[in-house]
Amino acid sequence: MLSDLLGTKWTALVIVALEEGPLRFGELRRRLADVNPKVLAQTLRRLERYGLVDRTVYPVVPMRVEYSLTQLGRSASQPLGALWSWVGSYAHFLRGTGLGDHSAEGTTNPDS
């Protein structure tokens, strides 16, 4: 279950983006510039299925849909934010993840 929920980088990024308040699909896409629309839709559906995100449809034309964090989603945002900060701080040590810039001079592995 945990690997299904947190299996992609987009899960954490969506939760962090929604910390600031409800967003529409297009607003989320702009904040997460590299996300494929299909992947974003799948991520939002998965987060909704696990009870971390609410999807609110407003009865207006054109249809308006907003996504927001549930209480459970808000409780997940703090540990995910801490993990994301850790990755940012130590990315240069993480080899083979695509997260760090391994070409920078002086980059070393803390275990070597």
The CATH architecture annotation of domain 2-93 reads: Orthogonal Bundle (1.10)
- Counting other chains too, the contacts that 51-60 makes at CB distance below 8 Å and 24 or more residues apart are 52/5, 52/15, 52/76, 53/14, 53/18, 56/22
pLDDT of res. 56: 97
pLDDT of res. 5: 65
3-class SS at 89?
helix
| Rounded Cα–Cα distance for residues 81 and 76 (Å) | 9
pLDDT of res. 97: 57
pLDDT of res. 95: 65
| Rounded Cα–Cα distance for residues 112 and 65 (Å) | 50
Domain range annotation of the chain:
2-93
Facing residues of 56 across strands? 66
Strands 53-58 and 64-69: antiparallel
pLDDT of res. 82: 83
Determine contact, residues 105/99, Cβ cutoff 8 Å: no
Residue pLDDT tens, the chain, 112 long:
566 666 678 998 899 899 999 999 999 999 998 899 999 999 999 999 999 999 999 999 999 999 999 999 999 888 887 887 888 888 788 766 555 443 443 333 344 3
Q: What are the distances in angstroms from CA 22 to CA 8, 44, 91, 97?
A: 21, 13, 30, 31
pLDDT of res. 6: 67
